[in-house]
Chains A and B, each alone.
Chain A
Amino acid sequence: MPKDLRDFWAGLLYLFIGAAALYMAKDYEMGTAVSMGPGYFPIVLSGLLILIGSISLIRSFIVEGEPLEGFAVSKILYVTVSIVAFALVVEGAGFAIAVILVFAISAMGSKFFNWKFTLGIALASSIFCSLLFVKGLGIPLPIFGSWFGM
């Protein structure tokens, strides 16, 4: 059993990313020393990352560390789902709806969540942001999108 779970997982993560990066870089040309190819730097870096990951992994079995705190999975979900929702609907349903969705979904992640407040603020922000960013600053997004036949 690893004695330091944080070192253990960080090491594993580095090892995985390093190996993936090395695998992807296998087709990139190494070049020669005089003219470094596009593969040279990525391959050296992936190798380094694999090395650091391995050291971290080995160390996790030797050196005692602080315990790993749990991950707040639900909080991660509220935040990321709200952003993904924005990205999913912003072109179809439009900017106004996307803003409301971010507010509604992310606000549920708070202990102090309150439907009425959230909806009020979401509506106000949606109108405000639509006017400011789409009308005012000309960000190329529809306020109401193609799903509404507009």
Chain B
Amino acid sequence: MELLSNLSLGLETALTLNNLFFCLVGVFLGTAIGVLPGLGPTATIAMLLPITFGLPPVSSLIMLSGIYYGAQYGGSTTAILVNLPGESSSVVTALDGYQMAKQGRAGKALATAAIGSFFAGTVATLLLALFAPPLADIALQFGAAEYFSLMVVGLVASVVLASGSLLQALGMIVLGLLLGMAGTDVNSGLERYTFETPYMAEGINFVILAMGMFGLGEIIKNLEEEHLRSAMVAKVHGLMPNKEDFKRMAWPIIRGTGLGSLLGILPGGGAMLASFASYSIEKKISKTPEQFGKGAIEGVAGPESANNAGAQTSFIPLLTLGIPSNPVMALMIGAMIIQGITPGPAVMTEQPTLFWGIIVSMWIGNLFLVVLNLPLIGIWVKMISVPYHFLYPAILVFCCIGAFSLGNKVFDIYLLAGFGVLGYIFSKLKCEPAPLLLGFILGPMMEEYLRRALLLSRGDVTVLVTRPISATMLAIAIIALIVVFLPSIQKKREEAFHEE
């Protein structure tokens, strides 16, 4: 069977000592930073990206994906133990997880999250292995026009699924696209938006943008609402759930996995939407909905499985189409480009070891998380109690070093500071930075595809709507935009993001 031979190729790659090591390092670093207060996964990955540039492409991407799902995992640990979700997708985990911890069932909640995540991770990895090849086959037939339209769909979907104002999300996308234009134009050699400084000739580095908008912006916001975290972390004991618990969590985990796998593929806030949706479904079909919010194990099992499955399947559009579905995936695309890999369907046929190695390593990484983290919970609990005011200066130093090391330019450090301020201002104006980052990464690619599409059609713009696949995708994008701007849907959408 082709699937088996592919997976064994992946196993060979992922199981080399080197790659196992980087997978482990990634998962460990990710969990550690997910547990530390005040750092989301996007900022984390942006900060750690420069470290991985020296590694071979496979190891670097394995480590980065390890950091990503490690951070997800660490985020749910803090959600359960101190009621502080490390990131938006574990917000709902905190609702029941923290209540469980308060009742002395912290161990069980953590174990439930771990088991659910592992199950979801396994299923999602299999789905990825099953569906990626046929999807990539389809995508291989895409021409420039289809790619351009596909990216439009991706950007529109990120608006639809983003929380916050739709209009501002659109604005952020366009601003991101525009920022992506800065630098030397590949076709004409003209320097655009460089303010005539040689430092800008290569454009803005995506790491600087992400580190500034997400990392520094978050730090300023955290300082604004600074309060001492209670060092009163619930004591963790009795990890193993009993038979009754297993019975109660089984179906929520399966449902959450299904829901998460599906929503994760969609561009936008896949993992986050999945966990919210899973929670409300579990609450709705539960025979004892009154227990939700008071320590219901289903309320931890479902969303945790959903967000992990979503995190995993969000790699599908990345690896098959080269389209990022969330800001972290946008960073992965940037990392791939720096490593000399052109993201897209060709990755699978041209670099099968890379493709299958990453997929198998995700499963191994999930295994690491379960095996390592439950016994190591003591260390994580200690890390949770690290006061933020010791932490953020170190993060700032790390950002400065990271910014400089990208191109050995001091100029980039100033740029970093600038984007930090911009990120903070935008967050105050309810403008989310995620669509901006997506636009920034996709901007140059969209320009190139449009140019090629128009060249091939001899300047006929209608090529975008006369080719059936391209036309379908554009129609989807337009319908999606119209639908979300309908007042009644807009209201529903807001409710969905405020589900509690």
Contact = CB atoms under 8 A, between A and B. Distances in A.
Given A56-B167, A69-B428, A75-B220, A33 B454 contact: yes
B193 A53 contact: no
A14 B226 CA distance: 30
Contacts of A42: 178, 181, 192-193
A4 B364 CA distance: 49
Interface stretch (B132-140, B239-247, B376-384, B386-394): B386-394
A139 B408 CA distance: 8
B454 A72 contact: no
A79 B223 contact: yes
Nearest to A8: B429
A127 interface: no
Interface in B369-423: 387-390, 392-394, 396-397, 399-401, 404-405, 408, 410, 413-414, 416-417, 420-421
Contact of A48 (B174, B224, B454, B458): B174
B425 A87 contact: no
Interface in A73-101: 75-76, 78-80, 82-84, 86-87, 90-91, 98-99
B394 to A, nearest CB: 6
A140 B410 CA distance: 11
Given A6-B428, A34-B454, A84-B414, A110 B171 contact: no
B389 A83 contact: no
Nearest to A110: B389
A129 interface: yes
Interface string A36-52: 11100110011011001
Interface stretch (B58-66, B183-191, B290-298): B183-191
A33 B459 CA distance: 4
B157 interface: no
Please indicate which of the listed interface residues A18, A38, A121 has the most CB atoms of chain B within 10 Å of its own CB: A38
A115 B393 CA distance: 13
SS of A interface (majority): helix
Most B C-beta atoms less than 10 A away, residue of A32, A75, A90: A75
Interface residues of B, number: 63
A62 interface: no
A87 B414 contact: yes
Contacts of B193: 21, 24, 42
Nearest to A71: B428
A6 B430 CA distance: 7
Nearest to A126: B397
Nearest to B222: A75
B350 interface: no
Interface string B183-212: 001011010110000000000000000000
A22 to B, nearest CB: 10
B413 A86 contact: yes
B475 interface: no
A9 B429 contact: yes
A13 interface: yes
The secondary-structure label for the interface of chain B is: helix
Nearest to B439: A45
B478 to A, nearest CB: 15
Contact of B387 (A9, A17, A52, A112): A112
A82 B396 contact: yes
B428 A68 contact: yes
B397 A99 contact: yes
Nearest to A47: B174
A41 B181 contact: yes
A6 B394 contact: no
B230 to A, nearest CB: 14
B171 A56 contact: yes
A48 B174 CA distance: 7
Given A34-B455, A83-B413, A125-B394, A133 B188 contact: no
A10 B404 contact: no
B461 interface: yes
B223 A25 contact: no
Which of B417, B424, B430 has the most C-beta atoms of chain A within 10 angstroms of its own C-beta?
B417
Given A10-B431, A36-B454, A86-B413, A121 B420 contact: no
Contacts of A35: 451, 454-455
Given A80-B417, A103-B397, A71 B174 contact: no
Given A84-B417, A90-B410, A79 B220 contact: yes
Nearest to B429: A10
Contacts of A24: 192-193
Nearest to B184: A38
A149 B89 CA distance: 52
Contacts of B424: 71, 76
B179 to A, nearest CB: 9
Contacts of B400: 83, 86-87, 90, 98, 102
A72 B420 CA distance: 13
Contact of A34 (B171, B443, B458): B458
A52 B167 contact: yes
B499 interface: no
B465 to A, nearest CB: 15
Given A10-B171, A68-B428, A112-B228, A87 B394 contact: no
A67 to B, nearest CB: 11
B174 A49 contact: yes
A29 interface: yes
Contacts of B177: 45
14 contacts: A34-B454, A34-B459, A35-B454, A41-B447, A45-B181, A76-B424, A79-B216, A79-B223, A82-B393, A83-B396, A83-B420, A90-B410, A103-B394, A112-B389
Sort A-B residue pairs by CB-CB distance and give the 8 closest, nearest first: A33-B459, A34-B459, A110-B389, A87-B413, A38-B185, A72-B224, A10-B429, A83-B417
Given A10-B168, A14-B175, A87-B417, 9 more contacts: A10-B429, A24-B193, A36-B451, A48-B174, A79-B223, A90-B410, A90-B413, A98-B400, A139-B404
